Every structure is written in structure tokens, then in C-alpha cells.
Amino acid sequence: MWHSESVTRTTQEGRGSEGSPAKPSNVSPIRPATSRRPPEERYRNGGRRTAAEPLAAKWRPERSEDELAEPGRGKPPRKGVKGFAATYGWRVYALPVLVVVTALVVFNVARTPASSDPSGVDGLAAQNPVTTTSGPPAATENSAVPVDPKTGTAVLPQGDAFPQAGSGTWRLVAGSGQKVGGGSKLYHYAIAVEDGIDQAAYGGDDAFAKTVENILSDPRSWVGSGSISLQRVGPEFKKPDFIVSLTTPNTDHRPDMCGYQIQYEASCWNPNYNRVVINLARWIRGAMAFNGDIGLYREYAINHEVGHVFGNPHVGCGAEGGLAPVMMQQTFGVSDDYVWQLNQADPSNRTAVTKDGKVCRPNAWPNPQGTPGGQNGQ
């Protein structure tokens, strides 16, 4: 490094009195001036540059005697802890901290158990419980929770997620079935699903259609009465007698569909469109009165609404503690007093049930015994 303090300018020869050289005025009084070095010493290691000489960079500069002589320069490094700290500064304190932090991280990683689900599917399923199966839906059995049948049973139970809205239009599901039942009156029905619904929410169109067909073909259903017959038809059949339609809650609530006078999720029969409207929220969650039995509730919902197609009105509990009539509004509850209370908000149903204190047990079938004429409570 170039130090202006340690280098004295080269003196110039000048004229003095009596032929002796004149004493330069810029010579340090402490250190005598030196004369120009011989040419052969100009580039000796540690030598000083004279005027007009080029700068020469040194690969490994060495300290001159002048540098070693000045205080605070050229001191040998101190030994021991203090010397180590003076040499490396803050690194002395950072290194131990880094070692400790690294050891803690390694220890925690070693203790963490391996995940049984490295893809994170379990975490995603907890946030989004909708099933993605494309096969027939297995009825979701929610944990049976004791429910007071006399009050509060119209509330939609907790359960799987469902789409709140669709497009408001329906598509017919392809497929047809055999005639079932021995009645003289034959009803043809089609099955439809509202457009704009993620099929993963309900297991797919075919699964829904198969479930409906199986319920209506069961001898405990309306065909077991001996007076009617049913047959499923596909989209090619131009004018079915009725269409069983899976429908989102928002479309269900429309005034031209089921309405929303009683402000709980429900299904309905709409004769203006010959459409049985099955509420998707109830299809997925069921009803409190059924204590988590989704399969039993779905059987009830189909039989109840199709019962309206055949002209059956709402009724109340037939006998205390007995099976509820399938035409009782079991989606809301199986207590006459509670259902009567809700019906006061719906002019068309205010007199459907008597406030008589009777409480029944949930029932899905109009003909639970599977024999002709076995309708319970009708």
C-alpha cells in the first residue's frame, strides 16, 4: 500500500554557496534525506520509486524497515483467545450459534414421524369432504346423534359439502327399465339432473338414476300396493308422466319450483312441470329425524314426493310410537306438534297435520310390509 507518511521525496541537486549542495527545505528534520539510489537498486524489493520511474506492483509485498519501525504497524499477530477474536471478529460468536441451530434442526427432523399420506390427500379431504367416486354412491351414515323428535328437527344436518346452485336447467339421464308392479295404471317416469353440478358431489348421473329406479321398483314402494305399475324411460320417450329431478337448493327455492315459505331445505312435487324436485342438500345430508341414516332418508324422499304424483296429500302421525306414514313431512320431523308449528308459515299446509302431541318413528316406505294394501298410516 502506498503511504505518504513513510516515503520522503527524492531530493534534487541544486546550486549552493561555495559549490556545496543546498539543503532542501522539504527534508524531514527527523530522518535525513537520502540520495538517489543507483539504477541497479531501483527495482530491488522494498525500494522506493524515484521521480519519473514507473509504478511496479508486487506479487507479495514485503514490509520495509521503515514500516516495521513505525508504531502500530507490522506487529506480529497476537496469540490465544484474544488474538483469535481480534483476527476473526464477529465470526467467533456466530459460529457456535450456527452449530447449535443446525444441531436442533437435525434433532427435530429425526424425531418427526413419516407421514402416512405424503401426497397430502388427507389434508385436502378434511378441507373438501366431497367424494370423487364415480360408482354407485354408498349411503353416508353420519354418526347417530340422539335427537329430540319434538323440536328442532327441520335443521339441515352437518355432513358432506354440496353445490348450492346450478344452471336452472336439467338433462335427462340415459337408460330405461322394465315394468314393475301388477297395477292396471302404468306410469312412465324419467330421471334428470340439474346442469352445472359437479357429479362428484352425488356420485354421478348413473348412480343417482340407479338409486331412484331401485327404490321405485322395491315391493315396499308404491308398486307394492297392487294398484299401480311403474316403468323407467329414457330421453327418447317424449312425454313421461313425471320426471324425478335432482336439483340444487337455489333452484329448488324458486317460486315456480318448490318455493321457500318454510325456510328449511325440502323437496316437492311440481305438477305444473310434472317434475319431482329432489333437493340436493337433503339428498347429501338427509334429515335430523333419521339420525344419520342417509340411505333410509333417500328412500323416504323418493317415495314421499312420488306419492304426491299419485294424489296423496300430507298427513300426520298415525299412532304414538308407530312408524310414520310415508306422506308425513318427515324431512321436518316426526312430531305432529312440531310439524304443525312449521306449517303455519305455509298456507297450503296449515291444516295438513293436527296438533295432537303424537310422535312417530321415521319410515321410508308406503308399504313397509311388502304386501298389497300395506300402506302405513294412510
Task: Check pLDDT > 80 for residue 266.
Answer: yes
Q: What nine digits make up the cell of 176? A: 330405461
Q: What is the pLDDT of residue 83?
A: 63
Q: How far, in Å, CA of 99 to CA of 94, rounded?
A: 9
Position 359 confidence tier, pLDDT thresholds 50, 70, 90: very high
Residue 162 has a pLDDT of 96
The whole-number pLDDT of residue 137 equals 37
Q: What is the pLDDT of residue 328?
A: 98
Report residue 111's pLDDT band, with 50, 70 and 90 as the boundaries. low
pLDDT of residue 122: 33
What pLDDT score was predicted for residue 298? Answer: 98
Contacts 24+ apart (CB under 8 A), 140-143: 140/284, 140/294, 141/292, 141/293, 141/294, 141/295, 142/286, 142/292, 142/294, 143/292
Q: What average pLDDT score do residues 80-96 get? A: 63
CATH number of the structural domain spanning residue 247:
3.40.390
Which of 16-30, 37-51, 106-120, 192-206 shows the highest mean pLDDT?
A: 192-206
How far CA 76 is from CA of 6, 72, 73, in Å, comes to 20, 10, 9
pLDDT (mean) for 264-273: 97
Give the residue, 273 or 11, on which the prediction is more confident: 273
Q: What pLDDT does 105 receive?
A: 62
For residue range 298-312, list pLDDT tens digits in order. 999 999 999 999 999
Q: For residue 187, is pLDDT > 60? A: yes
Per this entry, what is the length of the chain? 378
**Secondary structure E strands in the chain:** 170-172, 185-194, 228-232, 242-247, 268-270, 275-279
Question: Is 235 within a domain?
Answer: yes
Whether 229 maps to a domain, the answer reads yes
Domain count, the chain: 1
Residue 57 placed within a domain: no
The whole-number average pLDDT for the span 374-378 is: 44
CA distance 308 to 272: 13
Span 19-38, mean pLDDT?
A: 46
- The predicted pLDDT at position 201 comes to 94
- 300: buried, middle or exposed (CB in 10 Å: 19+, 13-18, 0-12)? buried
CA–CA gap between residue 113 and residue 121 (Å, rounded): 17
Q: How confident is the model at residue 81 (pLDDT cuts 50, 70, 90)?
A: low
Q: Has residue 273 been placed in a domain?
A: yes
User: Above pLDDT 90, what percent of the chain?
Assistant: 56
> Is the pLDDT reported for residue 353 higher than 60?
yes
User: Looking at residues 162-181, what average pLDDT do you find?
Assistant: 97
Q: Considering the domain boundaries, does residue 72 fall inside one?
A: no
Mean pLDDT computed over 238-263: 97
pLDDT tens digits along 321-346: 999 999 999 999 999 999 999 999 99
pLDDT, residue 116, reads: 36
Residue 201 is assigned to a structural domain of this protein:
yes
User: What is the arithmetic mean of pLDDT over 203-211?
Assistant: 97
Residue 187 lies in a domain: yes
Which structural domain, as residue segments, surrounds residue 274?
170-309
**Residue 308: its pLDDT value, please?**
98
- Of the pLDDT bands very low, low, confident and very high (cuts 50, 70, 90), residue 369 is confident
CB 293 within 8 A of CB 347: no
Helix 294-309 with 205-217: angle, nearest 10 deg: 70
Give domain status of residue 336, yes or no: no
Banded model confidence at residue 17, pLDDT cuts 50, 70, 90: very low
